[in-house]
Amino acid sequence: MFRWALGGASLLGGLVCLEVLAVASGQPFYPRPTEISSRLGDLFVQGRIYSSLWRSLQNLFLGFVMSLVSGIGIGLLCGRYELLERTIRPYVNALLTTPTVVFAPIYFAIFGTSRWSIVGLIIHYSVFYLIINSTTAVRAADRGLIEMAMVFGADERQRMRLILLPSALPLIFASMRVSMARSVKGMINGEVLIAVVGLGAINQDFARVFDLSGVFAVATIVVAVAMLLSFVLATADRRINHWVPNVRKS
Amino acid sequence: MRSIERGTSVIEITGLSKTFVKSDKSKKTVEVLRDINVNIRENEFITIVGPSGCGKTTLLRMIAGLIKPDAGTIEVGGRPVEGPSPERAMVFQTFALMPWASALRNVAFGLELRGTPKKEREEIARTLLEKVGLKGFENSLPSELSGGMRQRVGLARALAVNPTVLLMDEPFGGLDEQTKRLMQEELLRIWELERKTVVFVTHSLDEAILLADRCFLMSARPGEINKILDIDLGRPRTRDAELNPKYAAFKKELWEHLRQAQVEDETLARKVNVTE
């Protein structure tokens, strides 16, 4: 209980400081928490937010799920089959490290103003990270366990399903949560840079008139979405990977 | 499978040799086992003891089918060994339990792999857990169990598949002295219930004598079986066997042999270090 309160109190304190600074500075553009909450109120009351949020969430869901399936799938296969990993390694490394914002125009060129340019960008942001982590997760599997499975009669498929996969899940889940954050980033970048729909559009409307409180309001919504998804993933992680011993001392 | 009468060989090893190639840049070869010839009879408890690096674990893993020989043959139950199989179940020094599964599921693993229905395999697993003294711990995760308890699970898992031969690779090596001594006594008790054919690798002289019907002494690399001791301390056996004067004689003989092998091994190591 206390640990939650500490975080919450810190956040509240930060907001108060921000408000005070904003008033003291006298600058009209300085984002003020009271104004930010009023923008949030407007957005929800006037109803503009709902369709935009829904649209953004759709894109996010599509992109993230497709990332998960392809990223983890490819990563697991790469972990198991070295030749495959070697073959796609140059692409994964290059695309992981290249600043992703460079690719926005490329996706726009391919998919135009349809939602797939944003979904493509979301996948681009998150899939390579998943591939690398899933590969590592499989590689890190305990050789002794695999040998044990062989002794007790497991064939290749059983070894992958019953030993490799459960061994790899904790690391895969950890990378899923980071990957989710990257997906959210891809979504916003995509909406701001490419199609100007959804939350990105609202963000641009505020930014154009230098209504920074409005920009922060959108940011708050994005953060809220990300935190909710993070919470869902963390809960699933705890349930599925309940067996991982906790090294941290409380 | 051919039926095996008491006293007949269940494991026949002929002319077994193995050479490893060093994985570093030197590509030097290391002769690990040389011309091993032994027979192991049904219901025998065999211990293999030798200095570190003598190849005893390699020999065990070859019986298991995890390593292929360069020369010679291994036959178990009248058939040549072609790969790992639950007929030659193993108990591992590192326990090798699935950390995400309960004790029950770990014990039932071999049965799960061969498709035994859930109810049946859990029944068998429960019985075995009780046999090894872990009643009440069916739902515990390995991380919740002590080292000795984890190895009991390992033993139960190996027994669950009703193997022809039980292979044990320094199973108590990772345990503290007192847990080790308790586990040795527990193993004697459990073994007495069924008298499976066991091949037990150890570097502990006490284990080699206390548990065995016969004890194979191996030399330093390249490993050969130099001597086979007939441990006639009677069955059923308990810790009291240590008080038998024959026990001390065995231990003396064992150490004299091993000490020589240990000295040779260290001399060799020193020579190698000097020339490199």
On average, the pLDDT of chain A sits at: 86
In percent, the amount of chain A with pLDDT more than 70 equals 97
% of chain A beyond a pLDDT of 90: 30
Tokens 């150890």 sit on residue: B202
Which residues span the domain enclosing B275? 1-86+197-276
In a domain, B173, yes or no: no
Spell out which residues of chain A touch residue B94, defining contact as CB-CB under 8 Å: 144
The pLDDT value recorded for residue B59 is 95
Q: Residue B272's pLDDT is what? A: 62
Q: Are B210 and B184 in contact (CB under 8 A)?
A: yes
Predicted local distance difference test score (pLDDT) of residue B1: 41
Which is it for the CA torsion B135, A165, B115, B159, positive or negative?
negative
pLDDT at B6 over 60: no
Whether B241 maps to a domain, the answer reads yes
> How far, CA to CA in Å, does B128 sit from each of B85, B122, B134, B150, B172?
20, 10, 9, 14, 19
Q: Which positions ≥6 away from B36 have C-beta within 8 Å? A: B13, B15, B16, B17, B59, B72, B223, B224, B225
Tokens of A185: 């980033």
CB A176 within 8 A of CB A230: no
Question: Does some domain include residue B102?
Answer: no
Distance CA B208, CA B216 (A): 9
The position carrying tokens 């026990």 is B247
Mean pLDDT of all residues in A214-233: 87
State the ipTM, two decimals: 0.89
Q: Could you tell me if A75 and A137 are in contact, meaning their C-beta atoms sit under 8 angstroms apart?
A: yes
pLDDT (average), residues B100-123: 96
Cross-chain Cβ contact A151/B88 below 8 Å: yes
- Position with higher pLDDT, B275 vs A107: A107
Angle, helices A2-25/A33-46, rounded to nearest 10 degrees: 100
pLDDT in the model for residue A158: 95
Q: Chain A residue closest to B105 (CA)? A: A162
User: What number of residues does chain B have?
Assistant: 276
pLDDT of residue A62: 92
* pLDDT tens-digit series, residues B260-269: 877 776 776 6
Q: What three-state secondary structure class fits A176?
A: helix
Domain membership flag for residue B82: yes
User: pLDDT tens digits, residue range A35-90?
Assistant: 888 888 888 887 778 888 888 888 899 999 999 999 999 999 998 888 999 999 99
Interface of A with B in 145-164 (CB under 8 A): 145, 147-154, 158, 162-163
The answer to whether position B36 is within a domain reads: yes
Residues of B in contact with A149 (CB under 8 A): 109, 113
> For B91-96, what is the mean pLDDT?
95
Please report residues of B whose CB lies closer than 8 A to that of A245: 99, 143
pLDDT tier for residue B8 given thresholds of 50, 70 and 90: confident
Q: What total of structural domains would you count in chain B? A: 1
Contacts of B101 in chain A (CB under 8 A): 243
Which has more confidence, A246 or B73? B73
Any bridge partners for residue B12, and if so which?
B39, B75
Question: Stretch B50-68: mean pLDDT, rounded?
Answer: 91
Q: Is the peptide bond before B236 cis (omega within 30 degrees of 0)?
A: yes
In 3-state terms, what secondary structure has residue B64? Answer: helix
Are B65 and B81 a contacting pair, CB within 8 Å? yes
B186-217 as b/e: b if 16+ CB within 10 A: bbbebbeeeebbbbbbbbbbebbbbbbbbbbb
pLDDT tens digits along B180-224: 999 999 999 999 998 999 999 998 999 999 999 999 999 887 888
Does any domain span residue B59? yes
Q: What is the pLDDT of residue A248?
A: 59
Query: Among A14-28, A158-172, B107-121, which stretch is predicted with the lowest mean pLDDT?
Result: A14-28
The rounded distance, in Å, linking the Cα atoms of B90 and B93 is 10
Find the CATH number of the domain harbouring B68.
3.40.50.300
For residues A78 and A100, what is the distance between their CA atoms, to the nearest angstrom?
23
CB-side exposure of B221: number of CA atoms within 13 Å?
A: 17
Q: Select from B56, B150, B167 the least CA-distant residue to B94.
A: B150
Across chain B, what does the average pLDDT equal?
A: 90
Does residue B152 surpass a pLDDT of 80? yes
Q: Which two tokens stand for residue B16?
A: 């077994």
pLDDT of residue B5: 45
| pLDDT at residue B2, as a whole number | 41
Q: Which residues pair with B9 in a beta bridge?
A: B41
Distance between CA atoms of residues A128 and B54, nearest Å: 46
The CATH number of the domain covering residues in A36-240: 1.10.3720.10
| pTM reported for the whole predicted model | 0.82
Q: What is the pLDDT of residue B82?
A: 92
Look at A104-118, A137-151, B149-163 and tell me which has the smallest mean pLDDT.
Answer: A104-118
Task: Tell me if A41 sits within 8 A of A220, measured CB to CB.
Answer: no
Residues A153, B85: C-beta atoms closer than 8 Å: yes
Q: Is residue A175 helix, strand or coil?
A: helix
- Most B CBs within 10 A among A143, A145, A150, A152, hence the mutation to make, goes to A152
Per-residue confidence (pLDDT) for residue A8, from 0 to 100 = 83
Check: CB of residue A145 under 8 Å from CB of residue B96.
yes
With contact defined as beta carbons under 8 Å apart, do A159 and A147 qualify?
no
